[in-house]
Amino acid sequence: MAPRVAQQRGERGRPLRRSARVVLTAATAAALCAAGCGGPSASKRSTDVPLSNVFVIVLENHSKRDVIGDPNTPRLTALAKTYGEATSYYGVTHPSEPNYLAMIAGRTFGVNDDDPAHLFHARNLVDQLGAAGRSWAAYEESLPSAGYLGDYWPSAAAPLYASKHNPFVHFADIRSDPARLARIKPYGALARDLNGPARSIPDFVYIVPNQCHDMHGGVNTRVAPNGSDGSPCPYASENGTTDLALERKADFFVHRAVRTIMSSRAWTGNSVIFVVADESDAAADPTTGDWADTSGCCDTPVVPAGDPAVSSSWPGGAYGGGLAPAIVIARLGPRHDASSTPYNHYSLLATIEHGWHLGYLGHAGDVAGGVVPMNDLLVR
């Protein structure tokens, strides 16, 4: 079933701008990351860190400084300080959708927009897991049913769920396979699955809160009568009153999600939870396409000057997703630890691939470009 083109709106309700194709050579990527990523040693990849169950929780559109240490996110801050924090973790680019693609494919496919019609015929993490005999599931809050293929729910005007935050439905070999679609579930199924028979516990778990609980916003009306879905949650300017409310909602969602995982039958061996934001904050800066931070590392895409997906005044060059929060909770890993090694979503993918010996997709395998697994936050 092909994706539909629904209301074409991007982050913070801005009109969607189509991406021009990004051309990034291996030499350019290596040069960019040698300067921007600090050139971490390839020996980090050789560290053998076998993984048990892996959980990824994805938040939205907030910089590291507005999450770690912020008075509105005390639980997230406590997790970062108690376990591990990647203090130099970047979104790959802007806006949301290419960051989610990067997490499971090691590529952005030249995308710098949130078009729900994007469909890719490309190898992805689900293919790797299947080949290795490992299981997976995605849990999307406010998804109305397993395998739902709509672009939004309940509507484009009140998008608690948005497919731009569900990378799995943008790959043809997942979208066309009913068995795989059945692995994309409403968030409410998580606790049941993690405490069911061993065969029901996925090796890889991908968790996405709805847009009222992930700090994104953009739902202006109440959906659930009791407010349990976090609605309403209007868009907010950085550190405005509504933004602080978004932060508090996300803080509590992650607290409950982590507690659900750590108290479940799935929390065994060297299991690990990654909590990351897809990118940094939005801002009224027409030069950058209204983003506050375009820094990055480790194969940051290069976007040509004047690209219509960014801005006619964009000068051209590396277009990163900015410094974002990243918390690593490893069951057998370090405590009260922080790593300043530059990482991004490609590094996250490389960590999973390395821990399960899956091989590497796209930029996740580019050691020369500065992409290495986050292994220093997984072992004591």
Query: Using CA atoms, how far apart are residues 169 and 165, in angstroms rounded to an integer?
Result: 10
Give mean pLDDT, residues 276-293.
95
Look at residue 344 and give its three-state secondary structure.
strand
What mean pLDDT is reported for the chain? 89
Give mean pLDDT, residues 72-80.
98
Note whether residue 155 is domain-resident: yes
pLDDT at 288 over 60: yes
Please report the pLDDT score of residue 48 as a whole number.
78
Please report the pLDDT score of residue 237 as a whole number.
67
Residue 290, token pair as written in the block: 């209204």
Which residues in 298-324 are b (16+ Cβ under 10 Å) and which e? bbbbbbeeebebbbeebeeebbbbbbb
pLDDT at 4 over 70: no
Q: CA angle 62-64-66, nearest 5°?
A: 60
Give the tens place of pLDDT for each residue, 120-157: 999 999 999 999 999 999 999 999 999 999 999 999 99
Please report the pLDDT score of residue 29 as a whole number.
36
Residue 207 sits in which domain range?
11-377
**Considering the entire predicted model, what is its pTM?**
0.90
- Phi and psi for 323 in degrees, rounded to 5? -70, 125
Query: Using CA atoms, how far apart are residues 80 and 21, in angstroms rounded to an integer?
Result: 37
Which residues in 183-207 are b (16+ Cβ under 10 Å) and which e? bbbbbeebbebbeeeeeebbbbbbb
Q: Is 296 within 8 Å of 36 (Cβ atoms)?
A: yes
DSSP type of residue 348: H
| Cα dihedral 305→104→56→66 (10° resolution) | 0
Q: Any idea what the CATH number is for the domain that residue 215 is in?
A: 3.40.720.10
Please report the pLDDT score of residue 292 as a whole number.
95
Note whether residue 183 is domain-resident: yes
Query: Using CA atoms, how far apart are residues 348 and 319, in angstroms rounded to an integer?
Result: 19
Count other Cβ atoms within 10 Å, centred on residue 346. Answer: 31
Please report the pLDDT score of residue 7 as a whole number.
33
Proportion of the chain above pLDDT 70, given as a percent = 87
Q: How far is CA 334 from the centre of its chain?
A: 23
Please report the pLDDT score of residue 238 as a whole number.
60
pLDDT at 216 over 70: yes
Proportion of the chain above pLDDT 90, given as a percent = 83
Which secondary structure element, helix H or strand E, spans residue 98, and what is its range? helix 96-105
Query: Using CA atoms, how far apart are residues 229 and 223, in angstroms rounded to an integer?
Result: 7
Note whether residue 199 is domain-resident: yes
Note whether residue 146 is domain-resident: yes
Domain count along the chain: 1
pLDDT at 26 over 60: no
Note whether residue 4 is domain-resident: no
Give the tens place of pLDDT for each residue, 78-106: 999 999 999 999 999 999 999 999 999 99
Q: In the structure, what pLDDT confidence band is assigned to residue 239 with cuts at 50, 70 and 90?
A: low
Note whether residue 1 is domain-resident: no
Query: Using CA atoms, how far apart are residues 380 and 378, in angstroms rounded to an integer?
Result: 7
Please report the pLDDT score of residue 295 as a whole number.
98
Between 34 and 153, the more confident residue is 153
Query: Using CA atoms, how far apart are residues 141 and 210, in angstroms rounded to an integer?
Result: 5
Q: In the structure, what pLDDT confidence band is assigned to residue 14 with cuts at 50, 70 and 90?
A: very low
**CA-derived radius of gyration, the chain:** 19
The one-letter amino acid code at 61 reads N
Q: Is 185 within 8 Å of 139 (Cβ atoms)?
A: yes
Please report the pLDDT score of residue 5 as a whole number.
30
| DSSP output for 235-272 | ---TTSHHHHHHHHHHHHHHHHHHHHHHTSTT--TT-E
Query: Using CA atoms, how far apart are residues 158 and 160, in angstroms rounded to an integer?
Result: 6
Note whether residue 6 is domain-resident: no
Give mean pLDDT, residues 332-338.
96
3-class DSSP string for 103-161? HHHCCCCCCCCCCCCCCECCCCHHHHHHHCCCCEEEEECCCCCCCCCCCEEECCCCEEE
Please report the pLDDT score of residue 241 as a whole number.
80
